[in-house]
């Protein structure tokens, strides 16, 4: 039963593929840039661009389940191609943002919500993994920290409950190989709510050096973020962080319950990834 892994260059997709391969499950790796994949021996790489339906049929041939990154453009065609290919199950890397009050109007949340809705309307068995902020979002701070510059934030007291991407991969593996998650939608978070300042203090411990934090205006943050993302997405993130500055982030026990062990901490993530912040 071949599993197609989309986003196989991504942090979670790569980790899910590695787990399935190590456990002896047949896997196929999909990427918009298959030549850039680094894969275990014998794993087939296939070109799949989630908004280009002409790439779907070959990638899905012989596939029984898909680990899917959300891309709303082309999702209707992807569902049709998956049904035609005999795919039975899809495990979607969605987002907790779909549960927000204005999810349909929000550019971040609607991205995943439109994919969930298309899948829910299909004949496929679907599991929706809805993680909160990834611990790996902190890589966005690697540039200033590596240069001993202050980390500039509009909302340094915003709180998230960062989840370790390896925990998401563990849960995706369970969804693809077991039956405890079949057909379910689960919100996933890390084990504790931390402000950005607190996350930077943990990173500071991990690299053995102080990390200065500088508060900047929302307008200045918008200008900086414009280099990396469309303005509406930056606006949506800033709104989220402004709202998250008023109290702790919700911590779900699903990660621990599903894995039968404590969720990995942000401190663990920081220790594992410290070299990315020091250039060593």
Ligand X SMILES: NC(=O)c1ccc[n+]([C@@H]2O[C@H](COP(=O)([O-])OP(=O)(O)OC[C@H]3O[C@@H](n4cnc5c(N)ncnc54)[C@H](OP(=O)(O)O)[C@@H]3O)[C@@H](O)[C@H]2O)c1
Report if residue 31 touches ligand X, rule: CB under 6 A: yes
Q: Per CB under 6 A, which region of 29-37, 142-150, 226-234, 268-276 contacts ligand X?
A: 29-37
| Choice from 7, 74, 100, 190 touching ligand X (CB under 6 A) | 7
Distances (CA, A) of 9 to 6, 32, 64, 70, 71: 8, 9, 21, 14, 15
Dihedral sign from CA coordinates of 106, 108, 112, 114: positive
Residues 6+ away with beta carbon under 8 Å from 101 = none
Position 10 contacts ligand X (CB under 6 A): yes
Residue whose CB is less far from ligand X, 32 or 271? 32
**From 9, 52, 76, 117, residue interacting with ligand X (rule: CB under 6 A):** 9
Closer residue to ligand X (CB): 134 or 173 = 134
> Measured in whole angstroms, how far is the alpha carbon of residue 253 from the centre of its chain?
18
Kindly state the number of chain residues that form the binding site for ligand X, as judged by CB under 6 A: 19
Residue 137 contacts ligand X per CB under 6 A:
yes
Taking CB under 6 A as the criterion, the residue among 60, 78, 92, 93 binding ligand X is 93
Six token digits for residue 109: 């949340």
E strands, the chain, where? 2-5, 27-31, 44-47, 63-68, 89-93, 125-131, 151-153, 159-160, 185-188, 194-195, 213-215
Q: Is 52 in the site for ligand X (CB under 6 A)?
A: no
Least Å from the CB of residue 133 to ligand X:
4
Instruction: Give min distance, CB of 111 to ligand X, in A.
Output: 6
Altogether, the residues listed in the chain come to a count of: 280
Pick 131 or 156: Cβ nearer ligand X: 131
Rounded Cα–Cα distance for residues 4 and 78 (Å): 13
Structure tokens at 280: 């060593």
Binding site for ligand X (CB under 6 A): 7, 9-13, 31-33, 69-70, 93, 95, 112, 131, 133-134, 136-137
């Amino acid at each position: 039963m071949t599993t197609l892994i989309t986003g196989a260059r991504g942090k979670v997709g790569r980790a899910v593929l590695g787990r399935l391969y190590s456990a002896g499950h047949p896997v196929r790796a999909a990427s918009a840039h298959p030549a850039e994949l680094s894969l275990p021996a014998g794993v087939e790489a296939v070109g799949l661009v989630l908004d280009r339906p002409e790439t779907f049929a070959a990638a899905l041939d012989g596939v029984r389940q898909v680990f899917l990154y959300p891309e709303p453009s082309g999702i209707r065609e992807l569902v049709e191609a998956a049904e035609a290919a005999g795919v039975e199950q899809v495990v979607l890397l969605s987002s907790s943002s779909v549960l927000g009050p204005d999810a349909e109007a929000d550019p971040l949340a609607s991205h995943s919500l439109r994919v969930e809705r298309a899948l829910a309307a299909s004949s496929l068995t679907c599991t929706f993994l809805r993680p909160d902020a990834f611990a790996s979002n902190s890589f966005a701070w690697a540039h200033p920290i590596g240069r001993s510059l202050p980390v500039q934030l509009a909302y340094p007291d915003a709180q998230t409950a960062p989840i370790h991407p390896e925990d998401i991969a563990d849960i995706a593996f369970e969804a693809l190989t077991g039956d405890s998650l079949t057909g379910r939608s689960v919100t996933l978070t890390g084990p504790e709510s931390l402000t950005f300042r607190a996350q930077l203090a943990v990173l500071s411990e991990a690299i053995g050096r102080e990390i200065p934090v500088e508060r900047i205006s929302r307008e200045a943050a918008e200008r900086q973020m414009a280099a990396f993302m469309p303005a509406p997405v930056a606006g949506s993130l800033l709104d989220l962080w402004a709202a998250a500055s008023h109290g702790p982030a919700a911590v779900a026990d699903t990660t621990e319950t599903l894995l039968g062990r404590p969720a990995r901490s942000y401190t663990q993530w920081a220790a594992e990834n410290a070299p990315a912040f020091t250039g060593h």
